Amino acid sequence: MIAVAFKLLCYDKAKFVAMIMAIALAAFLMQNQGSMLKAFLGMSGSQIRDVREVDFWVMEPDTECFDQAKPLPDKALQMIRGIEGVAWAVPILKLDTNGRTDHGKLRTLSILGVDPSNRIGEPKMEKGQVEGINERNVAVVDPGGWAILFPGIAFEPGRTIRVHDQWLTICGISSASPPFTGLPIVHTSIFTARELNRGESRSSTFVAGKCADGRKVQEVLERINRLTPWQALSRQDFMDQSYRFYEGQGVPMIFNITIMIGLLVGTAFTAQTFLMFVKDNSRSLITMKVMGVTHKQLAVMMAVQAAYLTFLGLAIGTTIATLTSEFVRQIPFLRGLYTPVPVVLLCAAFMAGIAFLSAFIGFRRVLAMQPSDVFRS
């Protein structure tokens, strides 16, 4: 009976291909938009994730994410270092300011100041040497930033960016994770960053640190929160907080709307095409009932048909979504885009559920049909 089910399914090749492509299109829409949403929200914690050496971050209490932070007072660093359970703590300065390249292109930059005495927060490099940022007015930029600042130009050390009235010399390209904001990520020494921090007397935005051996992170965080007026979060909690902040912003909401449209399209396409298949083949199905095919055998046949269609449609849709992600990630700013396995699995479960629900509804229709309804001339 399984062979009969496949022959019945593939008899009209045009409709067979149309059913597969309908499922493939719905799967592509959901996976593509779901992957982009997941990737973009994952970028919300990129710069936190890049500082791998630390256990916790300290910030002003009203800080909601890495990109919107109020500078800490200068006394914060020494106070954090003096708290029991803290092995070490370092300052990290972040500022967003305008920069102009040596050929006149104006862009907003995210500048991250790293303390050269401990090198905590230094980025990994793709080109050049990171030690260059220890010198005054020397910086490295991420690949997306280079593409934005110097479009179509191959990397060459020595290109410059003017920030206020100072010129920063680019000595390399870092492998910093792409940020949610899309701004170029520029790493420099914290001393150079402080000189560029015009109009602000405070010299650090965050204090990042590590717990002493044998100390639980949560105990140290509770002690910092109790003894200081600032907010201390673990590395993972800070990333989660940034994720939740951006999740409620406009761009993720647009993706959510598109995903919902994909769900509706997937439901409509999958259900409609399969129910139309049952209707078009009602004569054949009733004929098999008349010839003695049991209801159980019919149910197995229709379940196999639904599974086969879903598998082929998902395979094609997932392949297109994955290839699209691989193509798009060649753009430097979108290099963090990928197709997450959970998105594929959720999409597969949803499409399979819709397909089998449609098969069940179609099966109920077949059960309700009488030979006289089909063969009446």
> Tens of pLDDT along 68-116?
888 898 889 999 999 988 999 999 999 888 888 888 788 889 999 988 8
Is the pLDDT confidence value at 214 over 80?
Answer: no
pLDDT digits (tens, 9 = 90+) for 141-180: 998 889 888 888 888 888 999 998 889 999 999 988 888 8
User: What CA–CA distance (Å, rounded) separates 93 from 55?
Assistant: 18
Query: Residue ranges of the alpha helices (H) in the chain?
Result: 2-10, 13-42, 46-50, 75-81, 143-149, 190-196, 217-227, 235-247, 250-280, 282-290, 295-328, 341-368, 371-375
- Of 30-44, 162-176, 278-292, the poorest mean pLDDT is in 278-292
Q: 376 in the Ramachandran plot: left (φ > 0), alpha (ψ -120 to 50) or beta?
A: beta
pLDDT band with cut points at 50, 70 and 90 for residue 189? very high
Question: Whole-prediction pTM value?
Answer: 0.77
Q: CA separation (Å) from 288 to 233, 282, 283, 291?
A: 66, 10, 9, 5
Positive/negative CA dihedral, 221, 226, 228, 230: positive
When comparing pLDDT for 274 and 110, which is higher?
110
Is the pLDDT confidence value at 265 over 80?
Answer: no
- What's the mean pLDDT in 177-202? 85
Q: pLDDT at position 298, please?
A: 73
| Average pLDDT score, the chain | 83
- Of 9-13, 140-144, 293-297, 332-336, the poorest mean pLDDT is in 9-13
Q: pLDDT at position 301, please?
A: 76
Q: pLDDT at position 12, please?
A: 66
Q: pLDDT at position 374, please?
A: 56
Q: pLDDT at position 9, please?
A: 64
Is the pLDDT confidence value at 319 over 60?
Answer: yes
Q: pLDDT at position 372, please?
A: 62
Three-point CA angle 323, 154, 129, nearest 5°: 100
When comparing pLDDT for 295 and 338, which is higher?
338
Q: pLDDT at position 178, please?
A: 86
Q: Please state, for a pLDDT cut of 70, what percent of the chain lies above it.
A: 90
